[in-house]
Every structure is written in structure tokens, then in C-alpha cells.
Structure 1
Amino acid sequence: MKIQLLLITLFFLVVKTETVFSQSVDENINWDKATWIGYTKDNRPEKWSARGVMRNQPPMNINTWQPTEAELKMTPRKTHPSVLLRKAFTLEKEIASAEVAICGLGLYELYLNGKKVGNRVLDPAQTSYDKHAFFVRHTVTSLLKKQNSLGIVLGNGFYGQNMAFSPGLSYGKPRAIMLLNLIFKDGTKKQIVTDESWKAHSSPILFDNVYHGETYDARKEIKNWSSYSFNDTSWDAVVLMKAPTTNLIEQELEPMRKVRKVNPIGILPAEKGWIIDLGQNITGWLEIQVKEKEGTAIKMRFSEHLMPNKQNIDPASTGIHVVGNTQTDIYICKGDGEESWEPRFTYHGFRYVQIEGLTKKPSLEQFTGWLVRTDVKRIGSFECSNEQINNFYNVSMWTIEDNLQGLLSDCPHRERCAWMGDAYVVAEAASFNFDLKKLWQKTSDDTKTVVGKAKAHFKDPFPYDSRAPANISVGKRLCLQARPDWGAATVMIPYFSFIYYGDTAIVKKSWKMMEGWMAYLDEKVQEDGIINGGFGDWCPPGGNSNMDTPPALTSTALYYQTLVAMKKMALVFNKETLAKTYEQKAILVKNAFNAKFLNKETNSYGSQTGNAFALYSGLVPKKKAQLVADNLAQLIMEKNNGFYTTGIFGHRPLYTVLNDYGHSNVTKHLWNITDFPSLGFVTHTHGLTTWPEHIANWNKQERYYRNSFNHPMNSGFAASFHESLGGIRPDENYPGFKKFFLKPTFLEGLEWCEVSHKSPKGEIKSYWKNKKGTITWSITIPANTTALVQLPMYTSKQIRLNKRQVKNNTFKLTSGEHLITIK
């Protein structure tokens, strides 16, 4: 009993829910009697409810910046208030089942009889709220008593986001709609809904914004506020709010959760306060344990880097120059002993936290970092005998995980936007390692909500078209109509989900949108098969001024990829005539591409990206493929002194292409070096734990450049760990790994390599060892699948399958365990 009372009393100090409440499968939700409710009274003190916002544009190398007074001027801006909503009710009969359906915008937490329902956080996922919003179901049968009380805490989320970029991005003040469906044991039914009978009050959360952070005043906590016995006569009536949308859809995407603890590794003295070092760049928040006097304000500021003197954080890379201020949480103590707190309605991208307000040096045990992300399952793994290569993989996975925030974001702090080009580049690496079937469906559904909503891009000659989506696939900040390369994700995201998960539903749901995009490209963008426009091979080493591949090359290659994808998807739905049309257009584009970009004398498309992306896209004539790959290796090792120059499009397939055409020695070299520009320069020389927006020749004695240091588009190359070192590759003619290829690269210098992927058909495993030139390769193939083994670098005489010599260096394997030996 004492424990229960303590949980109710301290519910605002985040309660860790013991029960994970299941999602109902009943689709019978009737919202007719429920209304949207909220609370508009704002009694918050200005000191805590407003924060300063500045806008400036320093050079990328911020060390050269001499800011003016005007550039540093702060303009105060308030967030919409966070509110508490409650309703008490009595049940006279025994309950058979009870289910809540709730949509709380921007974000909500649901309480029943003093306990938080479920362990979801930052719920629901972001949508284009004027088009549709998500509701969530909670089964609450076991929590109900005779006397009950429902409670809802509302925060702004992206719905009420009015601080970063522009106040105009807000859809409005927080609001909620909810119903509780009750079925009694006698078969009768009852419904409790949000209506004018609910009561409302201000929340202890004085400020909340997903970009800027949260301020919480523990002195304003209201004990037992969501329990039946609480006297709410002093509370106000709720305000009936306008419905943001008439389209409420159940969220099928996995919820956001606190997925993993990240314990700090050190505490450094700062000019003001202390700096907590988590040792890893994460997305989430810091949970604190403090014991201070009443009214003490504990201020936490978050960053990816430290200033060169190591005595202050450096927030430049987290986007303060565009979002307006540093990611900051503030906790105001109530002073009744040890207090525990973590935010509810914000999240941060950070490694370091500068904390002020403590009266003495803290201990590591007072802080816990939480990785917070969409709780998708991990389905892939990779490990080898080389720790630097392992680190490349781990950094890639951390960068992807940090950006699974109800969507695939471009970065977890500065923009937090679903840029379409970023999703395309990392989709395959991410799909090898995480079950993203539902996330890709949401991505495609999001994209539909921004079709025709953005103006034409001023840097391209292409007109506005009602069939074209925006460069960003959800929300109000769209950054103009999709340019032809970024817009390729309109087709390729459904296609990748189709190929990796066998998902035909996403193809069917997205078909009209995909057809519209392709028709727009055909009618208004391409000229004789060539597309002259696009962002191009984004973020090569040193930045976009070093881009050495014309955007027309990458945009045209992407156009070809989408034509091939559309052809294959059309055949799934027996659209043979349409498939033939896409096939014919693809042939035209391929011919035009090679006529324009292939130098037949040098066997080159003019750059590392040109060669790598053309090979990856299947655009290179068969007779030229090896020669183009040879030229790629030459461009790296001779023309560029052993360094790569590729941006996101060229880097995605670079190592797989090199390995496939016999240049794994170049891959080995690129993965061994640690000077600029290289992967090792990021992870070894600078010790970074996520991939930056682009690699620059940073000086450790100076501030890092102000671009983001957590960009998943630069994890795209990590697909090579599965598809090349492990050799596991989908067969695009048999989606969902019904059939697949096994074509590994036994990279020189590696003693062993172990890779796995949990496909829709079961787990595929590839584990090889190289001992004194003899390779032993263990393979696991799931039931009812077939693998085609391809070992083009070896003769059949060198290969033994289950101790028997094979007849060819390409052969099929059926389900089961197999052992291949190569000498």
C-alpha cells in the first residue's frame, strides 16, 4: 500500500511502468460521441514559459565567424502551455474488457488511477496533422476498479511546435480526443469519452518544445491528480477544441520507447557547472537524480562537441543557428529529498551535457542517458576480426538508430526532418539491420500527404506539378517541391520494402502516387532521357563545393532505377502492358545516359561517383563493366592518391562495386587509412561515434564545423557489410528473400567474418574464416528458400560443398546448413 501511494504521489517523477499494455486488434472505433478537448488558460511565469530565439548564418567553419550584436540578439517566444485533463467515473458492474483509444496532439501521456498506461513515449508519431493524425489503443481492463479516474498530460510535440524555424509551423495548441470502450460481464456496454464534463489545469511543465527542450517545476506537481479521490472542484472546465483533422488513423508503426540505457563515462569540470560525457552520441534524454533545496533550477544544455578548452559544450553542430537556441532542459527542485526526473515531451541529439545549479560535484550514478527511438526490432548483425571495420559498422548502426524517430530523420537535433534523399540512400543498409516494414509504409503514407503542396524548386527549371511531393515527406516544413533525385524515394522506398520484406501492400497503397511521380518526370522533367537538375551527389568530403559529379548524372541514374523498379512492381499486379512501357523507357534512358556520360576511350563516367553509381544502377554495358570498375579503382588510387571523393550517392555502393569487380584491395586500403578524407579519420583520428553530415579536415585544436554530426544518409555504405562481406543479397525477382544470392568478398587481412539477417522467411547466416589461405564458409539457409552461391573469383576446382567438389563456381543451395571450403 505504501509503495502504491508513493507512486501516485511522485507520478510526475517519471514512473517506470511494469506492465506493457497490448494493442487491441478490434477495429470498431466510433468517435461520434467524443469531442476534442484542451485548455487555453496560461498562468505560467514569463521567466520560464518563454525562451530567446536568434537567427544567424555563420560560415560552416565557425572558427572564422565574427558575430555582430544583431546576429546574437535574442527574441523571446513562448510555447503553448502543457495541460492536465481528468475525469472521474464509477462502474457499477463487473468488467469483461476495457479499451482506450486516444489521440493526444502533439504528444500525450495517459494515466488511469494514478498510473501511467503503457511504456510508450513521445506518442503518437508525427504526421501531417491537417491530413491525418494517429490514435493509439490501450487495453486497460486490469487497471479498472469500481471508482476510477482518467488523466491526460498534453505537450506540444511537432503539432504545437512554434519555436524552431518559424511560429507558422505550429498547427495549434495541444488537444486530445479519447474514448474508453467498456464491455461488462453481463454483455452490456458503456463508453466514456472526452467531452465538456472533463476538468483541466495547468501542468508542472512550464515549457516544452521538441527542438528547444523542456522546463519542469516540481513545486507545481499536483499529488494524486489522476486518482478518483482527488478533489478537482478548483479545476476549470475544459475547452472544446476544433478538430485538427477528420481523419483519425490507428498508428500501426511501432511506438517510441526508451530502448537502451547509456551510462556516462566521465564528468568534467566546466566554466559553469559540470560536463557529463556519455561517450556516445545518442538521441534521447538524460535522467537525473538530485538532492537540492526547493526552487533550485538545474539547467542542462546538450551538444555533440566540446569547445577546444573542454570547459564548455559547443552546440553549433546541433543547429542553434537555424532553430534559434541550444537544446536545454531545466528542472526546478521541490526540495523534499532525492528527486528523480526526465523529460516527457522533448528529445535531444547529444553526447555531452553541461549541467549547472548543483551545489557539489555530482557522481556518475546520478545520471542515465536514454536512447529513445521507434522500437523496431533488430534483424541484422555483423562482426569481423578487424576492430576498425567493426567500428564502422557500429557507428553506422548508431547513426541509423538515433534517427528512427517515428520517421527516418536527417539528423536528431537541427532539422529532425524526413528528407527523401536521405531515406533513399540509407534504406538498404537500414533494412538489412532493422525491421522497417511499418516505418517504410508510414514514410510512403507521409509522402502522399505532401503531394502537390510545395512550390517548384527555384534551382531547377522544372515547373510546379500537383503530382510531385516535397523534398521533406511530412509536416509543414517541406523545403519546396521534390527535386528529381530526392523525389526518387517516392518509388524506391516502396520498392525497397517490397524487395527486402516481400511487402506488396505498400506497392498497392502507393501505386497511384508512384505513377503520378513517374508521369511528372516523363512529361515535364526528362529531355530525351536525361534529367538536368537535382541536388546531386550531396556532401562529398570537404563539402558540396567539392562535388565532382554533375547532378544530371545521378538524377538520370535515379530515374533509370525508378523505371526498372516500376516495371518489376507492375508485373506483380499483372500490369504487363504498363511494365513493358516502363521497360522501354528504361532502355531509352540507358542509351541516353551512356551517350552523354560514358567516355568510351577512358571507360569512365568522369568521376568515382559516376563510375560507382552507374555500375550500381545497372547502366553500364556488360562489355564495359569491368573496364569501368578498373577505372574507378584507378581514379581512387592514382588520380586521388588513395582517397575517395564520393558524396552520398557514390559512397552507398562504392565498396560493394569495388569488391565485386576484383578491387577489394582498394576497399581494404580505404578501410585501413585514418587520415583525411577517410572513414577512419572520423572514427579513429577524431573518435566520433556517429557519421557527420560530411567529412571535413577538422583541426582538433579548433571548434568542429557547424554541420550536423549525426546524419544517417552517410550510413548508406554499411549495406556492404551484409551484401559484400557477408554476401547476402536479395533477388529482386523473388522479393522477401524467397530466393537470394550469396556472393561474399573474403577481404584480405580478415581472419573471419560473421553476418546474419532475419529475413521474412527466416534467419540467413554467413560465417567464414580464412586460415592460411584456406576459407571455410558456414551458411544457414531458411526453410522454403533457395540461395544462388556466386564465387566468380574462384574456379570450381577450388571449391568444395559439404566436402564434395562442385561443378561450377555458381550453384544453388536449398534450406539447411552448408559448409563450403575454398583453397
Structure 2
Amino acid sequence: MKFQLFLITLLFLIVPPLKTFGQSKGNNIDWDKAKWIGYTEDNRLEKWAARDLMRNQPPMDINTWQPTEKELKVVRRKTYPSVLLRKSFFIEKDISSAEVAICGLGLYELYLNGSKVGDRVLDPAQTSYEKRAFFVRHDVTNMLKEKNSLGIMLGNGFYGQNMAFSPRLAYGKPLSIMVLNIDYADGTKESIVTDESWKAHNSPILFDNIYHGETYDARKEIKNWSSFDYNDTSWGSAELMKAPTKNLLEQQLEPMKKVREISPIAILPAEKGWIIDMGQNMTGWLQINVEEKEGTEVKMRFSEHLMPDKRNIDPASTGIHVTGNTQTDVYICKGGGVETWEPRFTYHGFQYVQIEGLKNKPKLDQFKGWLVRSDVERIGTFKCSDDLINSFYNVSMQTIEDNLQGLLSDCPHRERCAWMGDAYIVAEAASFNFNLKGLWQKTADDIETVLGISKAHFKDTFPYDSRAPSNVSVGKRLNLQARPDWGAATVMIPYFSYIYYGDTTIVKKSWNMMEGWMAYLDEKVQEDGVINGGYGDWCPPGGNVNMDTPPALTSTALYYQSLIAMQKMAIFLGRKVDASVYKQRANTVKKAFNTRFFNEETNSYGSQTGNTFALYANLVNEDKKQLVANNLSDLIMKDKHGHFSTGIFGHRPLYTILNGYGHSKVTKHLWEITDYPSLGFVTKEHNLTTWPEHIANWDKTKRYHRNSFNHPMNSGFSASFHESLGGIIPDEDHPGFQKFYLKPTFLEGLEWCEVGYKSPKGEIKSNWKRNKGKIIWSVTVPENSVASIQLQMYTSKQIKLNKKRVKSNTFELTSGEYVITIK
């Protein structure tokens, strides 16, 4: 007996206990009795359930392409049907509390007694569904009655996405699992679960695809379908479906919501119908109010641009050449009065909507745009006396907002992919302005789910490795194994979350993944400290043909930056030996980097990006930093005649570096000009409200290039508004703004500047204005935080703190409000 007990004890120590299926924070959900259900019968007409897909891509010069019918090579494909599921039940006792836990894939809406539960949309967030799926909790205590009926409407989302790119991207047909836990006042409990006793029917949604749009037939609406009194005897039985994953987790990320209403600014006559101008490029959808006869087909097509004649939309930039068709919603009227409709299971990236099928010219008040994104908190603000600079900030924020869709996407229409390089570039700017702690944790977890599942690119010399993630961090469209520069997000996303939010959990959870990625680079990729290759300084002005910085430079700089990040995180984790090893490797890489790329005669790394990114990554030797910055200024003002030539890596820190090394006049110049290439060329000359994939020398009389016009990677530079003009810089040795620097650039030409940031410790404010030859700088330092004031460009005699002279041009401030006066 003792020997048996010994074996049992030994087995327990060797084999860890199994994880509880669906375990989550708070009370665990017992999924054992619940079953995945769906409905595969399909009564939709081919006319509505399928759409045409153009399989041939047009050439880059879309202005001259006039395809023949043969060249279009059209194929027709159906979506999986959207379904309704319902279950009625009685409650005969007083309720203490009631909660629903539900996962509906790809997307769901939950109904109870005829009403939608909650205000979440496009729920749950996208995951790699074979690895994990999210469930969501809803408190329904106040919605239950004596007689009740639950209803679930399902759409395809990314789970059933079989239209764009390839049908192989689909995981399967829509399905759901749900548990309703009821706690009664007498202490007893009851659970209502999804199983084969539920009834099922096709929904009025005849077509739904996350890329292509939605078709809704209001004539097929089933009134009160989720109410207790509805007679469902004609409905079919729900079908048991194969579980997509065994890893069902509670979604911790903020839900998608309709966060802001956007009113259209104009209605234009079109060749067919009318064109609605929303006044800004946005992500979400159009809500319509129409009064038409039964059977009227109201067709809405979405784009970022108009054709030069202004009488048709131009869908080229939204991905028609790769997804196969235009973003299109269709509403079929039921007649009998005013009808209000908006889609449920799709979203669009657009500024213009061409609408057909209306008998009369529509009015502006018939339409309402909804900006739809993850409902993360806005925590950063910026405003200054220059309207053009304000437009750069506002365009940056709009572009970021438009791509917070349960992940940080590269664009909200064409790809909708979580490209890792894009996330790295914009992470700091986004973290200054939105609370993305939950999104970065999901991103890190997503990256872990795609380790080792993609092949290396056939053009690369980088070998396949099980420790390497994919270029895209979630889904099936992973675009091969991550190259060394894009893969840097494996380390830097957790690190940025650690630095900006003080998030230690993400470091602990991601350590093995980060360590594995770095080991892969150390063992198989770097050659004597240098990494040869990568995507490089992506999308400089005019496109990648104008890339003037070798990918080896930026990849090696990112490798060094990752080594330093690993060293600092290892110190936090108490891994002193690891920290020492990473530091030694970083020293080796820094020496190799300068040996390979630094030109002693010119004090340059060969390009604007070379100089900027070397300074940003702290790879430049101390005695050379100012000289490299001076050369950067010359490369801009002399070699490029006052214009930048940087891609995403070089542009991210460009203005912060210029300002920090005394070249703010160059920044001022770059922010004043409006000719090509410049930021003002985008926002003032072309009135764009989001950043394009790259700046090109567009001709207003012709069609715009087919590249996306809503790419958040090009918002990365906007970190400079906080870290440079406001001077709010995190101290990486004291994460979460326990300590931080205040080192503002009082940019010439600005009369005032106001910058705010809600740090984990509280509100930080850095507001300054010019007044009679002085700068009046108002500073707020939150509780339990220390600010290090850095004013090295001034002498202590020029500085007063609360009207008293200071002893040094650098000093510390504890929590409180201060006024610093600078002559």
C-alpha cells in the first residue's frame, strides 16, 4: 500500500495536472455538459449567397489597365451560411445572479428574450482558432424572467473566411458553445447549455464575409425569433459540431465597439446612384435609413478614393486586386415604412460609399457612420499652435484607431493582418496614446501560437526554426517565417509593454518565447555580430525601389536593440547570468555594427535611416553621436534638398533624433514644407486623413496608386509629439513611469504646446508657451513618480523653478505641479 502511494505521489510530481478546459479568471466555467453546435443546412439562393472573385491581379500602373473579360478570370464562391440558434426555458425561483459564458465563431451576437445582450460588436477577437479561442462573459441577471428564450446569431468572421485570398484560410462553418449559470436565492444552481436540444434556422444574412461585406434580406427577418412566445416547431435541430480547439480562454482584451458616430459631409451624384463622402478615412460601417418598396436592393460599395471624374468610387487601394472584389454591403428592403440597418459581421476601411437602388436623391441625415475598434482607453493628448503639425498628430491617431481591431492590423481593408514589423514600428506612438496593455498581451500570446508553423521564404538564407514565429502573428495567412527584422516584435512588444505600462506579467509569460527567438538568431542567423538581410527600411517615399539602406543595417540594429531589452528584462527576473550574457553579446554586435556600417571619414552610416536608427538604437559611440546627427542634417538638407528619404524604420525616430541633437530647425523645415515628399504633401496638398502605405508623387488628375491609404506603421514617428515636443520619455531602468525624463524641444515657430499622458502612475502634463522672450513650462508629476528634468541646452542661470533659481540644468521633481521659466 505504501509503495502504491509512493508511485501515485511520484507520478503526480512527474506529470503536471491537466489544465481545466476553459479555465479563466474569476469563477471557472464548467464546459463539460456544453456542446459545440451549429447548423449546416443552406436554403440561400446562389444569387445572394455567392459573389464573383477576380483572380488576376492588375499591373502596378492601374491608370492604363483595361482588362478584357478573359483577363479578369472570374470565379464564383459561396460563403458559409449565417445561422440562428435558440433555446427556451422556465425559471421558477428567485434569482441571485446569472451569467452567460459564450464563444461564437467566427462572430456572434447573443440575444435574450428578444433583446441583444451587451453592446459588443465583432465578438470575439480573432485568434489562431486551432490553438485557442476566446469566450466572453455577460451578466444577464436583470434580463431573466419566468419564461425565457436564448438566441445566438452566428457569422463567419475570420473563422469561416473562405472568400479573400484563398478558401484554404477558412477553419470551418460557424459554430458556438455557451453556458448560462444561474444562482438562485435559495443557494441552488442551474445551468443551461448548448446541445442538440437547441433549434436552428438560417438567418436573414444571406452573405457575410469579413473582407467582402454583407447581404441582408429584411424580407426574411423572423420577428421575435429569440422570444419565448415564438413558435419554433418549423425550425430544424441544431447540429453537433467538432470542437475547433481544446483551449477555450476568457477574452481579457477590451471588446470591439461602435466608439464614435461620424456624420457624412456631402452626397455627390454618381454615374450609378450617389456617393456619400464621410469626410475622413475610417474603419467601421454605414448605418442607413431608407424607405423603399419591398424587394428594393440597396447596394453600397466602399472605397478610400474616387475616380478622377468624381462620379465613381475607386476601390483599387482597398485590395480588390488581392481579395478579388470591392467591399460591398447589400440591403434588401421589406417595405412598409422607414427601415434602419447596419451590418453585423463585417467592417470596412473607407471614406466614400457609392450607393445604388434608391428611388430619390438621399439626404445626409439618412446615413450615419460608425467608427468601430477595440474599446481601449485614450490616454494621450497633444495640441500646439501650428495647425499643420496638429494635422500630423491627428492623422496619426486616426490611422492607429482605424487599425485596432482586436489586434493591430496593417490596414483595415486589403489585408487586415497583424504584421509584426508594423506592430513594432507603431508600438511606442500607440502606447503613448492608447492603453494597449491588453492588446500587447494578446499580441505576445498570438506570436506564441505561430512559433515554428511557417516555412522560411525560399529567397532567404535564414533557416526554418521551431523557435521562429511567422511574419503575421495570428490566423492562417501568416506569410511565411518571420524575417529577423519583423521578428524583432517577439521581444520588443513585450518589452514596450513592460516599459510603458510596467507590465511584468507579459515579461514572465513571454520569457521562454523571447529567449528561444534570440537563441535562434544567435545560433543560426547572425554572422560575427551582423544579420545579413530582412525586409529592410520598408516603404520609403516612392516605394521600396527607393530603399537606400541595406536591410542588414536595420536588422542588426534591431538585433542589438532586442539584446539590450533582453538584458534589462533578465535583470528584472533576477536572471543575472542571462543578463550578463545578453550584455556581452550586445557589446559584440555594437562593435561589429560599427565596423561594418560606419564611415569614419564622413561620420555617417550611409543614409538618413542609417544615421537615425543607429542613434535611436544607441549603437553610435559617444564621441561620434553629435557628428552622426550633423551628418543626418546634411543628408536631409543638402543631399535630398530638404526632404526625408526614410522608410518605416528611419522615420520612426527621425524628428526625435534631430531635435535631441540640436537640429530642430531641420524638423521645423520638414514640418513646414508641403511639396513631395513631405507630411504636408499628404495632409495639406492631398487632404488625406490617414497615412498611406507610402508617399508617392500623386497627380490629382489621375487615379491614386493601388497601395493602401490607411497604414499605421507610418504613424510610428508620432511618438515624437510626446517624447520630443512634450519631452516625456520613459526611464527604461524604472518601467511604468516610476521614474521618467522630461526633456522637451521648444520648437521654433510654435507659440505653445500642450502634451498629456495618463501613465500607470497618473497624469503627466508638459505644457509650454512663449511669453516675452521667456518659455513658461508647466509640469505635472503624478504621485509615486519622479521626473528627471533635462535642459542641457540651457544654463542654470536661465532656469527658474517656481520663481526660484536652480543649481543645475538637470534636476529631479517629485509628485506635484511646477512652473519652470526659461530665458
TM-score tier, shorter chain, comes to over 0.9
Greater Cα shift, 49-58 or 755-764: 49-58
The share of aligned pairs that are identical, in percent, is 77
Residue deviations 1:477-525 (CA, integer Å, cap 9, x gap): 0000000000000000000000000000001111110000000000000
Residue deviations 1:299-352 (CA, integer Å, cap 9, x gap): 000000000000000000000000010000000000010000000000000000
Residue deviations 1:388-426 (CA, integer Å, cap 9, x gap): 000000000000000000000000000000000000000
Could you tell me which residue of structure 2 aligns to residue 396 of structure 1?
396
Q: How does 1:155-554 map to 2 (within 5 A)?
A: 155-554=155-554
TM-score normalized with structure 2 length: 0.97
Residue deviations 1:263-287 (CA, integer Å, cap 9, x gap): 0000000000000000000000000
Q: Within 2, Cα distance between the matches of 1:632 and 1:75?
A: 52
- Contact kept, 8 Å, 1:292 with 1:337, in 2: the verdict is yes
Q: How does 1:709-720 map to 2 (within 5 A)?
A: 709-720=709-720
Residue deviations 1:576-614 (CA, integer Å, cap 9, x gap): 000000000000000000000000110000000000000
Could you tell me which residue of structure 2 aligns to residue 12 of structure 1?
none
Q: Within 2, Cα distance between the matches of 1:255 and 1:621?
A: 46
Q: Within 2, Cα distance between the matches of 1:242 and 1:88?
A: 24
Residue deviations 1:99-155 (CA, integer Å, cap 9, x gap): 000000000000000000000000000000000000000010100001000000000
Could you tell me which residue of structure 2 aligns to residue 751 of structure 1?
751
Cα offset, 1:773, TM superposition: 2.8
1:614 aligns to 2:614 (yes or no): yes
Q: Within 1, Cα distance between the matches of 2:709 and 2:436?
A: 23
Could you tell me which residue of structure 2 aligns to residue 6 of structure 1?
none
Q: How does 1:72-111 map to 2 (within 5 A)?
A: 72-111=72-111
Cα offset, 1:459, TM superposition: 2.5
1:48 aligns to 2:70 (yes or no): no
Q: Within 2, Cα distance between the matches of 1:390 and 1:140?
A: 44
Greater Cα shift, 247-256 or 804-813: 804-813
- Contact kept, 8 Å, 2:25 with 2:250, in 1: the verdict is no
Q: Which amino acid aligns with 1:317?
A: S
Q: Within 2, Cα distance between the matches of 1:28 and 1:336?
A: 48
DSSP 3-state at the match of 2:720: helix
- Contact kept, 8 Å, 1:380 with 1:757, in 2: the verdict is yes
1:733 aligns to 2:733 (yes or no): yes
DSSP 3-state at the match of 1:469: coil
Q: Which amino acid aligns with 1:498?
A: Y
Q: Within 1, Cα distance between the matches of 2:631 and 2:70?
A: 52
Q: Within 2, Cα distance between the matches of 1:382 and 1:65?
A: 43
- Contact kept, 8 Å, 2:380 with 2:434, in 1: the verdict is yes
1:141 aligns to 2:141 (yes or no): yes
Q: How does 1:660-739 map to 2 (within 5 A)?
A: 660-739=660-739
Could you tell me which residue of structure 2 aligns to residue 584 of structure 1?
584
Residue deviations 1:700-741 (CA, integer Å, cap 9, x gap): 000000000000000000000000000001000000000000
- Contact kept, 8 Å, 1:303 with 1:327, in 2: the verdict is yes
Q: Which amino acid aligns with 2:42?
A: D
Greater Cα shift, 765-774 or 781-790: 765-774
Q: How does 1:562-577 map to 2 (within 5 A)?
A: 562-577=562-577
1:792 aligns to 2:792 (yes or no): yes
- Contact kept, 8 Å, 1:61 with 1:704, in 2: the verdict is no
Q: Within 2, Cα distance between the matches of 1:589 and 1:287?
A: 55
Cα offset, 1:67, TM superposition: 2.6
Cα offset, 1:25, TM superposition: 6.1
Q: Within 1, Cα distance between the matches of 2:120 and 2:636?
A: 48
Q: Which amino acid aligns with 2:625?
A: A
Q: Which amino acid aligns with 1:722?
A: H
- Contact kept, 8 Å, 2:56 with 2:73, in 1: the verdict is no
Q: Which aligned segments of 4 or more residues in structure 1 are displaced greater than 6 angstroms? A: none
Cα offset, 1:66, TM superposition: 3.8
Q: Which amino acid aligns with 2:665?
A: N
Q: Which amino acid aligns with 2:282?
A: I
Aligned length: 800
Residue deviations 1:133-188 (CA, integer Å, cap 9, x gap): 00000010100001000000000000000000000000000000001001111100
Could you tell me which residue of structure 2 aligns to residue 742 of structure 1?
742
1:605 aligns to 2:605 (yes or no): yes
- Contact kept, 8 Å, 1:60 with 1:707, in 2: the verdict is no
- Contact kept, 8 Å, 2:277 with 2:351, in 1: the verdict is yes
Q: Which amino acid aligns with 1:299?
A: K
DSSP 3-state at the match of 1:784: coil
DSSP 3-state at the match of 1:783: coil
Residue deviations 1:499-557 (CA, integer Å, cap 9, x gap): 00000000111111000000000000000000001000000000000000000000000
Q: Within 2, Cα distance between the matches of 1:120 and 1:652?
A: 33
Cα offset, 1:353, TM superposition: 0.1
- Contact kept, 8 Å, 2:84 with 2:153, in 1: the verdict is yes
| Structure 2 portions without partners, runs of 5+ | 1-23
Cα offset, 1:809, TM superposition: 1.0
Residue deviations 1:765-811 (CA, integer Å, cap 9, x gap): 00000124310000000011100010111111111111111111111
Q: Which amino acid aligns with 1:367?
A: F
- Contact kept, 8 Å, 1:36 with 1:176, in 2: the verdict is yes
Q: Which amino acid aligns with 1:254?
A: E
DSSP 3-state at the match of 1:788: strand
Could you tell me which residue of structure 2 aligns to residue 776 of structure 1?
776
- Contact kept, 8 Å, 1:55 with 1:71, in 2: the verdict is no
Q: Which amino acid aligns with 1:786?
A: V
Q: Within 1, Cα distance between the matches of 2:71 and 2:760?
A: 53
- Contact kept, 8 Å, 1:549 with 1:610, in 2: the verdict is yes
Residue deviations 1:641-686 (CA, integer Å, cap 9, x gap): 0000000000000000000000000000000000000000000000
Q: Which amino acid aligns with 1:461?
A: T
- Contact kept, 8 Å, 1:54 with 1:71, in 2: the verdict is no
Q: Within 1, Cα distance between the matches of 2:648 and 2:681?
A: 17
- Contact kept, 8 Å, 2:276 with 2:353, in 1: the verdict is yes
| Structure 1 portions without partners, runs of 5+ | 1-23
Q: Within 1, Cα distance between the matches of 2:658 and 2:68?
A: 49
1:117 aligns to 2:117 (yes or no): yes
TM-score normalized with structure 1 length: 0.97
Q: Within 2, Cα distance between the matches of 1:810 and 1:686?
A: 43
1:626 aligns to 2:626 (yes or no): yes
- Contact kept, 8 Å, 1:374 with 1:406, in 2: the verdict is yes
Q: Which amino acid aligns with 1:429?
A: A
DSSP 3-state at the match of 2:645: coil
Residue deviations 1:28-70 (CA, integer Å, cap 9, x gap): 2010000000000000011000000112233333213343433
Q: Within 2, Cα distance between the matches of 1:314 and 1:65?
A: 13
